[in-house]
Structure 1
Amino acid sequence: MSRYLRPPNTSLFVRNVADDTRSEDLRREFGRYGPIVDVYVPLDFYTRRPRGFAYVQFEDVRDAEDALHNLDRKWICGRQIEIQFAQGDRKTPNQMKAKEGRNVYSSSRYDDYDRYRRSRSRSYDRRRSRSRSFDYNYRRSYSPRNSRPTGRPRRSRSHSDNDRFKHRNRSFSRSKSNSRSRSKSQPKKEMKAKSRSRKSLLRARVMDFITSTAILPLLLGCVGLFSLFKLLQWLRMRAYVRNAVVVITGATSGLGRECARVFHAAGARLVLCGRNAEALEELSQELAASRALEVQTHKPCTVTFDLADPGAIAGAASEILQCFGHVDVLINNAGISYRGAIVDTSPDVDKRVMETNYFGPVALTKALLPAMIRRRQGHVVAISSIQGKISLPFRSAYAASKHATQAFFDCLRAEVEQHDIEVTVISPGYIHTNLSLNAVTADGSKYGVMDETTAQGRSPVQVAQDILAALGKKKKDVVLADPMPSLAVYLRTLAPGLFFRLMASRARKERKSKHS
């Protein structure tokens, strides 16, 4: 019974107090919850500055509990304070003052706050690591409410206080019954945990077995599906040009000659066009002598004319239509290249390049287009260049003709879509052909030099196969270039200033190499 006769603990220990906090500030904040007996903020003996904690003593323990409940971990004077009931032999500010005044140089652990904090750090951290509700109930347990002396007048409780204490007693009895039932159900929980662990182990083994045995079939299935997709795509591509009438201009050499071989092997009926009748006849005999194992081939027809001659195009178009009666695919491949500076180039050279690369293909396309529209079937292919999207120095006439070709056939695609006619623009990069050897210079003569970039270009056979694949997929615009030229196309759009500086640097290098 002696523990119920001890005086109640009405002092609060406030931790993490700001350095500029005064006792009046704490009295004002804590005084909202009841009358305060005393407030004490200890000062350091040498610096005479606050030591980071304080004591607040209330008249009634219930007021102290209310202040603890409402102000713990709240921000006061710029700091988040922590509150608990005072413990030990310094429960009140007066006791704290008396202890400090009795022996300033005492070596007791209560005179050094750092040692005080270290001595309680383990138990304090252990309590703070739990939940906040546990910590709050733990601190409240240090203030027994029933330990009031009988002679002291008690404050009358309200109905809400009585209800709160009834609820606390009820929860305490419920926790006791829960602890008893928990101790009884421990073996059952252990058995459930063991069965759950066995099930999870069995499930993991089953999954390991499935993954180890099914990963190889899945991989093989994916590879098989991809291969089947590519095979179907290849068959569709071959079927698109099989028995189709394909007109190829510039078929005597370079890319046009390889396109003739690739399309002939795919089963197309070819109409070969060019300026050299002997070269066309030689190519026709070569293709007629070759026999494809997979498809039936046809003997090509030849039509000799010059795209640079506007008067010859109309007659050539009627002759092309007489070969097989109609045209399914027109491949505008003929063209010449150009090397020279703009200030040294005469307008006649510019006209010559434009006649072959732009006006000739446009005139032939216009001559054969009405027959395609009447059949509501046809495919027009324009072999442009990567220089139809970007311009390189000392190739002004060629780049201008390819830019015009790109623009014209882009417009044509939009206009003939209602007639079910496809238009594809192919923009290859450097191809290992005689294009640079046959290029014209500023004065109209042949260039006669194989450029280093042209010599390192792609094989014309690969480009011809890519063109066949693009036709089978009915692509609108195809760039067949290395990564650097393709990157330059995007650089011209996204960072034009950088692109122009790079082209100016290239022009300076080419000019120096020519003079040297």
Structure 2
Amino acid sequence: MIFFTVLGAGMLIYWGVCTVLAFVSDCDLELFFYEKFGKSPRRLKGKVVFITGASSGIGEFTAYALAKFGVKLALAARRPNELLRVKRKCLELSNNQLSDHDVLVVPMDMTDFQSHKRHFQYAVQHFGHVDILFNNAGRSQRALWENIELEVDKQMFDLNVFGAVNLSRIALDHFNRVGSGHIAVVTSLAGVMGVPYSGSYCGTKFAVHKLPKNIHVTLLCPGPTFTNFLAESFTDKPGEKYGLQVQPTDKRMTADRCGYLNAVALVNKTKESWMAIRPIIPLAYMMVYFPILSRPNYIYKLRDSKNDTEINKKD
């Protein structure tokens, strides 16, 4: 009887601590533990990371976080001038740990599937190998689901899903030949609990959560982050961008903090990591385990600091 009393008290204490940490932390409990007590990203020094979508946003700031620890980088995106800017910043932040040869610029379009192997092999030939593929390229969305044209759905899946799947298969072939490797995919908390006014986007993120895991795969799920994603977001029409800027008063995680947490997740090889400002992490836990508590209007306000009626004004 005493055993079960002690066991019950221990469980209550455990769940109490977990609940408190969920409300005070800006990441899930596993990542919180690894940041405090796990391996430091400096253990990645000398590794080669191929980052897609590296010219801005989370990809850019993850590159900065890794460069600070002497990680060699292949920076891939469509805009070569922006990639060169990011490269210069990476070399500066590395504090002489990296040379010009250690940061490679790879101009590529993730929707040009036929070019993926050539670009990845370019990095392999340059460095001799690649250790980690960091799939980050993608775009968000703001649109009413019933108004979205099918071509937009196709474009989003080409970029957010099939691009990552195709490049991951190419990387997997390389990893199998060298005997090791790690694939990371930036998905979103929208792929965990869904969010309003991003029907196609949520579909692409849920799809990425089904990637095969025959090698080590890390799914990175950021919440609202200070990047230029909103201006570049898809709408309901092909070729159209949402065009609004993230406001400084919005409640979002900084891209710098998100990049660092990504580095922590990579070095500790987590399977899935969440990161977002309070109170989004405990909300995500509640929505996963108690979906009846879901309130779309509240989620949209947390996500974009707006009411759900504002999407109609934009449309």
Which bracket does the TM-score occupy, shorter chain normalised? 0.7 to 0.9
Distance 1:460 1:451, change over 3 A: closer
The structure-2 alpha-carbon separation of the partners of 1:375 and 1:405, relative to structure 1 and needing over 3 Å to count, comes to same
CA contact (8 A) 1:340 1:441 kept: yes
Aligned partners of 2:310 and 2:81: how far apart in 1?
42
- Residue 283 of structure 1 deviates from its aligned partner by 2.3
Tell me if 1:372 matches 2:175. yes
Note if contact 1:265-1:297 (Cα within 8 Å) is conserved in structure 2: no
Counterpart check, 1:237 vs 2:41: yes
Structure 1 residue 515 displacement after superposition: 4.7
1:503 counterpart (292, 296, 303): 296
TM superposition score normalised by structure 1: 0.49
Letter in 2 for 1:298: S
Determine the structure 2 residue equivalent to 1:298. 99
**For 1:342, which of 145, 155, 160 is the aligned residue?**
145
Q: Is the 8 A contact 2:67 2:91 kept in 1?
A: no
Aligned counterpart, 2:188: 385
1:459 to 229, 243, 254: 254
Q: Does 1:475 align with 2:270?
A: yes
User: Displacement, 1:493?
Assistant: 3.4
Q: Could you say which residue in structure 1 is the equivalent of 2:209?
A: 406
Q: What CA distance in whole angstroms lies between the structure 2 residues aligned with 1:455 and 1:505?
A: 15
**Secondary structure of residue in 1 paired with 2:148:** coil
Which letter maps to 2:60?
R
Unaligned runs of 5+ in 1: 1-228, 417-421
Counterpart position of 2:120: 317
Judge conservation of contact 1:430–1:453 (CA < 8 Å) in 2. no
Identity of aligned residues (%): 26
Instruction: Kindly indicate whether the alpha-carbon contact (under 8 Å) linking 1:436 and 1:454 is maintained by their aligned counterparts in 2.
Output: no
- The amino acid across from 2:42 in the alignment is R
Specify the SS of the correspondent of 1:270. Answer: strand
User: Among 375, 394, 398, which residue is 2:197 paired with?
Assistant: 394
Structure 1 CA distance, aligned partners of 2:37 and 2:293? 43
Greater RCO (CA < 8 Å, at least 6 residues apart): 2
Secondary structure of the residue aligned to 1:382 is strand
Please say if 1:490 is aligned against 2:291.
no
How far apart, in 1, do the equivalents of 2:310 and 2:69 lie? Answer: 47
Does structure 2 retain, via aligned residues, the 8 Å contact 1:384–1:405?
yes
Q: Deviations over 1:63-102 (max 9, x none)?
A: xxxxxxxxxxxxxxxxxxxxxxxxxxxxxxxxxxxxxxxx
Match of 1:326 among 115, 121, 129: 129
- Cα RMSD of the aligned pairs, angstroms, is 2.6
Partner Cα separation in structure 2 for residue 490 and residue 230 of structure 1: 20
Secondary structure of the 1:367 match is helix
How far apart, CA to CA, are the structure 1 residues paired with 2:86 and 2:49?
Answer: 15
**Secondary structure of 1:343's partner?**
helix
Q: Does the 8 Å contact 2:188/2:220 carry over to 1?
A: yes
Is residue 145–residue 197 contact of structure 2 (8 Å, CA) maintained in 1? yes
Aligned equivalents of 2:148 and 2:56: distance in 1? Answer: 27
Deviations 1:191-228 (A, max 9, x none): xxxxxxxxxxxxxxxxxxxxxxxxxxxxxxxxxxxxxx
Counterpart residue number, 1:259: 62
The structure number with the bigger radius of gyration is 1
1:448 paired residue among 233, 236, 243: 243
CA deviations over 1:397-420 (Å, ceiling 9, x no partner): 111111111121xxx22x22xxxx
Query: Which consecutive unaligned segments of at least 5 residues does structure 2 have?
Result: 1-33, 302-306
Work out the number of aligned pairs and report it: 273
Once the two structures are superposed, the pairs formed by residues 48-67 of structure 1 within 5 Å of their partners are: none
Deviation at 1:513, TM superposition (A): 6.5
C-alpha distance in 1 between matches for 2:36 and 2:190: 33
